Amino acid sequence: MWGLCEGSGKKPYRTVVDLADGAAPAYTCTCPSRKFPCKHALGLLLLWAGDEAAVPAGQAPDWAEPWLSGRRQRAAQPSGTAGGAPGPADPEAARRRAERRAERISAGATELEQRLADLVRGGLAAAEQAGYGLWEETAARMVDAQAPGLAARVRELGAIPSSGPGWPVRLLEECALLHLLVQGWLRRERLPAALAATVRSRVGLPGAADGPPVRDRWLVLAQYDTADARLTTRRIWLYGADCGRTALLLSYGAAGRAPDLALPVGLALDAEVAAYPGAGQSRAALGERFASPAPTGVRPPGVTPARAVARYGEALRDDPWLDAVPVTLREVIPVPDGDSWQLADAGSDSALPLTPQARARPGLWRLVALSGGAPVTVFGECGHRGFTPLTAWRHEEEGVVTLC
Amino acid sequence: MIRTSAPVEAPAAGAWEELVTTALLGTDRRTPPGGATGRRAPAALLELAAVQTVRRRAGLRAAPAATRPEPAPEDPRPALPAAAARRLTMLLADRPGTAGGGRRGTAPDLMELLPQWLAAANARGYAAPPQILPALLDAARGRTDLRPAALAFAGPRALWLARLNPDWRFALRAAPGGAAALPGPAEADRIRRLWEEGLFAERVALLAAIREREPAAARDLLAGTWATERAEDRLMFLDSLRDGLGPEDEPFLEQALADRSRNVRATAAELLSALPGSALAARTADRASACVAVDHTLDTPTLAIEAPHECDADMERDGVVAKAPSGRGERSWWLGQLLEAAPLGAWPARLGGRTPREIVALPVADGWQGELHAAWCRAAVRQRDARWARALLGAPAAPGAGGPGAVSLAERARLLGTLGAGERADWVAGFISVHGLSEAFQLLGVCAVPWAAPLGRAVVDALNIARDAGSYPWSFSGVMGLAERCLDPAEASRLDGLLAVPDEARDPSPGAGGYWAEAFQRLVTTLRLRAAMAEELRPADG
């Protein structure tokens, strides 16, 4: 189907719509609009939809023919070799590219190892004077080495010396874990496959969510954004009603822009979710969605604070670089503890302190108000710095309250 | 560093300390545990540290729980309907500064709707959803005018919260009667102790609470410690008698007229003069009536004024301030104060049995009219005398009513406050239909919300006239804003004809038509929103 549209320019726009593939019409137009399909193509379709006779059948004019036949040809080609199917065109070339990247990362990792050794040789006390610039430069080197995971960790190292009392302990911990990661990378061939996958993802190699897709009613537990100068990262926690698994979806946006994926907290999605590789990783990708989000009474079962920290400890077996694990705390009461707050078990004498970040958020007060001194159930992240509450509820029949 | 617990094993803790110290100093200066030296030392240290770090993290345990706070008191009120809760969240999210840019276009000003939302929710007695309380308290913190309604709606849990967060201290101060913390009527001992030992704010709250329950008991409480209070405190305490003022307060107030502090004396005199039957009122009436007389020697009866020649000690004791502000004649200053404090009910008898309306209509000799009428206005407001207020306001359509006549707009607004809601609305409607909107803002502010039908129609008609006359809508932004908040939502359908952009060609002010259409659209959107708000707050059962 084709048509000419009188535009503001001298020549009319040449608009072609290909309806041969019933599922997905294709469009082309000579107009400069960046909307796709452009209004001319839509107009043409409307004309045709309103009255099929308005667009009589005929031979394609010479300006429409090459595009149409080009499409037909591409469509006719078996999808394995070109077009359609994802994946590299040439497995051999892809392997070589991956090897080159691995070499580059190894070179970067070795260099980073040297930096760490220099730091420890000269003493961490000197790091306080060295300032942020040194780390920023090292992080840039890691970006060059195509190891964004290492770069992010290095950048965080740079912020530690100014982060208040106890910084040498934190700096040593993070340096040691970075050293561990670098060593893990350099010896990845000798690691068990799952741990090697974890190391690869921690270093920053992109993986594919190739786990088997799990269809379930996924409760959206929490959604929150963290932003740095370059990137806005959105984390969405899901809980599968039947499989009982907790999965993390990540979505990114350029600095200052909201990431694309947004899910309504407290509702359930009927959808498929596929896990990313690696031991102890919660990350997953959202696959097909079968229905729009609906209210649900599904809530993850909770554990006690004592069990929550134990669960974090167990998770470190699979991934020693893990900062926190998703946990639902059952029957806890927010309790002021000096300047800080903790979530105290209603049934025993144990409690989890909140992380410093969680203390500064307005969500803390929503949690305190919701509880009013009575037990509530709280979903959040439990790690070595404490607990970060993300969502809370009183009863299953009541809605959830977001805290982030 | 925040630790959930100590590491599992004590010896490991020692080893870790050793590692941190070595790392801090550098392996060049100190040999790491394990004895590796030279080029191997840093890697050996980092390896040990990695093991210890993971070990420490994996071995974390829950901490002992701190003392738990008392649970918040139950809120027995019924829960807010879900749609209304969502609406409130939306209203609270629309904080100043969060909306982009100054011009609002056709979007309603949500923050301005919060007061009436709260009033409606309070009227129906709903409980606030707990998770909304922090936002509600933050809003009330920023806007003192919201506090009473916001705190009433927020209920007991908000006070419980406010005790945990210093940002919300104001709630404890402002809470009517301090709620839970204040002793009940039966706890005489606690009342006595709180009154004698409490902080100033607590004592003011206590006094106000008791005054509300039992006016005489509050007065007795105050009289018990009166002599020992500081002057500023006496002033505040005395002021709290303003609520529920009655003839039985007179002896105490009379005694306060002899107070050491001038401000306390003045307040006592002011309160007494609001009691037309008090001895002070009678004394003032005598003094004032000596100053005003009807002069029958002229063709038409005229009011002759003889301002007092001196301010004696008795007058001062009765609250007359002897020293005039600069630029004011002493005698007219004293006269004004006497007339203001004198009971209005005495004038008809003094001035030949005339009604207030007739008295106000009398001509006044020697240019005293402004002074005289202004003082009577203040008296009518202070004594809440509707007959005099009506007389002083005059007919809304009178030619003088529009301009800055003897009675200023601010005084008129206060006079209107003494009338019933219906009468007020009718007067302002009459005023607007004759004089237009340019002077009406202050008067509209005292009218009951939502505006009565005649008033609403008068405002809409006047806006329509202003548009046809070629004005720009921002000349009426104040009235527009009021209309958005106060017009009865049922009037929205009457505005439909005003939403269209009129034909530009006939328009004397370029572009005004479009702006008017936008302003009216916002008005209608806001009215619809208010109708929806009211609907959401209606109880489910009917």
Fold of A214-295: OB fold (Dihydrolipoamide Acetyltransferase, E2P) (2.40.50)
CB A39 within 8 A of CB A13: no
User: What's the pLDDT band for A113 if we cut at 50, 70, 90?
Assistant: very high
User: What's the pLDDT band for B11 if we cut at 50, 70, 90?
Assistant: low
Phi-psi region of A38 (alpha: psi -120 to 50; beta: other; left: phi over 0): beta
Please state, in angstroms and rounded to a whole number, the distance separating the CA atoms of residues B532 and B528: 6
* Cβ-Cβ contacts under 8 Å, A129 against chain B: none
Strand partners of residue A27:
A17
Q: Is the peptide bond before A37 cis (omega within 30 degrees of 0)?
A: yes
pLDDT value at position B454? 85
* Cβ-Cβ contacts under 8 Å, A388 against chain B: none
Please state, in angstroms and rounded to a whole number, the distance separating the CA atoms of residues B249 and B254: 9
Residue of A nearest to B64 (CA): A350
CB A169 within 8 A of CB A163: no
- Looking at residues B429-456, what average pLDDT do you find? 83
In a domain, B345, yes or no: yes
Q: Convert the pLDDT of each residue in B188-221 to its tens digit.
A: 777 888 888 878 877 888 888 888 888 888 888 8
* Cβ-Cβ contacts under 8 Å, A179 against chain B: 43, 46-47, 49-50
Determine the 3-state secondary structure of A249 from DSSP.
Answer: strand
pLDDT value at position B95? 58
pLDDT at A216 over 60: yes
pLDDT value at position B504? 56
User: What's the pLDDT band for B327 if we cut at 50, 70, 90?
Assistant: confident
- Looking at residues B129-139, what average pLDDT do you find? 92
Predicted TM-score of the model (pTM): 0.72
User: What's the pLDDT band for B274 if we cut at 50, 70, 90?
Assistant: confident
Which residue, B132, B137, B119, is CA-closest to B82? B132
User: What's the pLDDT band for A190 if we cut at 50, 70, 90?
Assistant: very high
Please state, in angstroms and rounded to a whole number, the distance separating the CA atoms of residues B288 and B318: 13
pLDDT at B483 over 50: yes
Domain that holds residue B314: 277-393
In a domain, B74, yes or no: no
Say yes or no: B42 contacts chain A, CB-CB below 8 A.
yes
Q: How far is A170 from chain B (nearest CA, A)?
A: 7
In a domain, B523, yes or no: yes
Determine the 3-state secondary structure of B349 from DSSP.
Answer: helix
How far from the centroid of its chain's Cα atoms is residue A114's Cα? 31
Question: Beta strand pairing status for A324-337 and A340-345?
Answer: antiparallel
The CATH-assigned architecture of domain A305-402 is Beta Barrel (2.40)
Please state, in angstroms and rounded to a whole number, the distance separating the CA atoms of residues A361 and A363: 5
Query: What are the CA-CA distances from residue A370 to residues B92, B172, B248, B253 (Å)?
Result: 17, 19, 47, 48
Please state, in angstroms and rounded to a whole number, the distance separating the CA atoms of residues B375 and B362: 16
Contact A373 B63 (CB under 8 A): no
**Helices of type H across A262-354:** 305-318
User: What's the pLDDT band for B227 if we cut at 50, 70, 90?
Assistant: confident
Strand partners of residue A218:
A240, A269
Lookup: tokens for A4: 């000419």
Please state, in angstroms and rounded to a whole number, the distance separating the CA atoms of residues A265 and B361: 70
User: What's the pLDDT band for B330 if we cut at 50, 70, 90?
Assistant: confident
SS3 content of chain B, % helix, strand, coil (to 5): 65, 0, 35
Say yes or no: A361 contacts chain B, CB-CB below 8 A.
no
Lookup: tokens for B541: 């059962």
Contact B65 A345 (CB under 8 A): yes
Taking CA A74 as the corner, what is the angle to CA A68 and CA A78, rounded to the nearest 5 degrees? 150
Q: How far is B3 from chain A (nearest CA, A)?
A: 6
In a domain, B488, yes or no: yes
Lookup: tokens for B3: 């630790």
Q: Residue A369: which of B29, B56, B133 has the nearest Cβ?
A: B133
Chosen domain end from B347, B372, B393: B393
pLDDT at B76 over 50: yes
In a domain, B53, yes or no: yes
Say yes or no: B29 contacts chain A, CB-CB below 8 A.
yes
Q: Residue A117: which of B20, B29, B42 has the nearest Cβ?
A: B42
pLDDT at B5 over 50: no
Q: How far is A165 from chain B (nearest CA, A)?
A: 7
**DSSP per-residue codes, B510-522:** TTHHHHHHHHHHH
Mean of all residue pLDDT scores within chain A: 85
Interface of A with B in 293-332 (CB under 8 A): 304-306, 308-309, 312-314, 316-317, 320
Q: How far is B65 from chain A (nearest CA, A)?
A: 5
Residue with tokens 């997953």: A284
Please state, in angstroms and rounded to a whole number, the distance separating the CA atoms of residues B346 and B282: 9
Strand partners of residue A272:
A215
Lookup: tokens for B475: 């000349």
Q: Residue A369: which of B59, B71, B157 has the nearest Cβ?
A: B157
Q: Convert the pLDDT of each residue in B380-417 to its tens digit.
A: 888 888 888 888 888 877 755 544 455 677 788 888 88
In a domain, B226, yes or no: no
Q: How far is A358 from chain B (nearest CA, A)?
A: 13
CB B438 within 8 A of CB B464: no
pLDDT at A67 over 90: no
Lookup: tokens for B53: 């770090």
Dihedral of alpha carbons A325, A329, A332, A334, sign: positive
- Looking at residues A109-117, what average pLDDT do you find? 92
Radius of gyration from C-alpha coordinates of chain A: 27
Residues B451 and B505 both lie in one domain: yes
- Looking at residues B113-119, what average pLDDT do you find? 88
Which residue, A234, A199, A222, is CA-closest to A322? A199
The count of structural domains within chain B is: 3
Residue of A nearest to B55 (CA): A313
In a domain, B117, yes or no: no
Query: What are the CA-CA distances from residue B258 to residues B228, B234, B402 (Å)?
Result: 15, 13, 44
CB A392 within 8 A of CB A379: yes
Q: Convert the pLDDT of each residue in B16-67 to its tens digit.
A: 888 999 998 888 888 887 777 777 888 999 999 999 999 999 998 888 988 8
pLDDT at B179 over 50: no
**B215 phi and psi angles, rounded to 5 deg:** -55, -40
Dihedral of alpha carbons B237, B243, B248, B254, sign: positive
Residue of B nearest to A164 (CA): B1
Residues B389 and B444 both lie in one domain: no
Say yes or no: B166 contacts chain A, CB-CB below 8 A.
no
CB A223 within 8 A of CB A234: yes
* Cβ-Cβ contacts under 8 Å, B1 against chain A: 166, 169-170, 385
H-helix or E-strand containing B335? Answer: helix B330-341
**DSSP per-residue codes, A156-215:** HHHHGGGS-TTHHHHHHHHHHHHHHHHHHHHTGGGS-HHHHHHHHHHHT------SPPEE
User: What's the pLDDT band for A320 if we cut at 50, 70, 90?
Assistant: very high
Please state, in angstroms and rounded to a whole number, the distance separating the CA atoms of residues A27 and A42: 9
Strand partners of residue A382:
A325, A387
pLDDT value at position A220? 94
Residue with tokens 């290492």: A150
Q: How many CB pairs under 8 A join A and B?
A: 177
Which residue, A55, A57, A59, is CA-closest to A68? A59
Domain ranges of chain A: 2-76, 96-203, 214-295, 305-402
Query: What are the CA-CA distances from residue B242 to residues A118, B174, B182, B203, B208 (Å)?
Result: 77, 18, 21, 16, 10
Percent of chain B at pLDDT > 70 equals 89
Taking CA A254 as the corner, what is the angle to CA A250 and CA A259, rounded to the nearest 5 degrees? 40
Contact B42 A121 (CB under 8 A): yes
CB A127 within 8 A of CB A161: yes
H-helix or E-strand containing A91? Answer: helix A91-122
CB A309 within 8 A of CB B60: yes
Query: What are the CA-CA distances from residue B302 to residues B292, B306, B358, B362, B380 (Å)?
Result: 10, 13, 11, 6, 22
pLDDT at A242 over 80: yes
**DSSP per-residue codes, B306-371:** ---S---HHHHHTT---SPPTTS-HHHHHHHHHHHHS-GGGHHHHTTT--HHHHHHS-BGGG-HHH
Contact B161 A175 (CB under 8 A): no
Contact B67 A335 (CB under 8 A): yes
Interface of B with A in 45-84 (CB under 8 A): 45-47, 49-50, 52-54, 56-72
The per-type count for chain B, helices as H runs and strands as E runs, is 27, 3
In a domain, B398, yes or no: no
